[in-house]
Chains A and B, each alone.
Chain A
Amino acid sequence: NAGVTQTPKFQVLKTGQSMTLQCAQDMNHEYMSWYRQDPGMGLRLIHYSVGAGITDQGEVPNGYNVSRSTTEDFPLRLLSAAPSQTSVYFCATRQGWTEAFFGQGTRLTVV
């Protein structure tokens, strides 16, 4: 079982570049979410989706876009990368009401 797959695992961007972090799941879970994890800040919710075609903002959405065209995929787009977006990004799916499955993370550095 693959569960939640995130790509890439590591990425270095220059300020101003754009990129898409990929997240795919094979569990047919309706709810998917993106978090960022920073030292001393814990995990913070960026965007979430309760199903295909439906997305909403989390706690720290600025600078990020999402879309959900299929149940399986929930990509996170950085429009114009900034050093403040250097972080570890996690995609998660929800089983019932609980964030039960996380991907391995994407470690992003913006220089």
Chain B
Amino acid sequence: GQQLNQSPQSMFIQEGEDVSMNCTSSSIFNTWLWYKQDPGEGPVLLIALYKAGELTSNGRLTAQFGITRKDSFLNISASIPSDVGIYFCAGQLDAGNNRKLIWGLGTSLAVNP
């Protein structure tokens, strides 16, 4: 099935550093979503973006809906150990109840205290 290109695949950073990750697609999306998954848990929705060019923050997290509607970025500022996990992007196509998500393969983040 269709998937998004999410990069980087993994990151290992020092506590306090800023983090950037992104997702790109050959398709145009109406919605971009960012999730975090901790080991042994389900994904947790971090940020939802609904309009091209939109920039939205959630605490130390900031995400942007690309102008072309084919990409999105997630930044984490001043990383802390609890930021460790896998971050997924997802794009949403279509309209109505049949909206389905297309998922990236995730960015695994490790933070060295």
Query: Footprint of B on A, CB under 8 Å?
Result: 4, 31, 40-45, 48, 50, 56, 58-60, 90, 92, 97-105
Contact = CB atoms under 8 A, between A and B. Distances in A.
A98 B90 CA distance: 10
Q: Pick the most buried of B44, B48, B97, B100: most chain A CB atoms within 10 A of its CB.
A: B97
A42 B3 contact: yes
Contact of B97 (A31, A58, A101): A31
A105 B103 contact: no
Closest 9 CB pairs of A and B: A102-B42, A42-B103, A50-B97, A43-B103, A42-B105, A59-B1, A100-B45, A102-B43, A90-B42
29 contacts: A4-B42, A31-B97, A41-B105, A42-B3, A42-B88, A42-B103, A42-B105, A43-B43, A43-B90, A43-B101, A43-B103, A44-B1, A48-B100, A50-B97, A56-B98, A59-B1, A59-B100, A90-B42, A90-B43, A97-B31, A97-B92, A99-B33, A99-B90, A101-B45, A102-B44, A104-B40, A104-B41, A104-B42, A105-B40
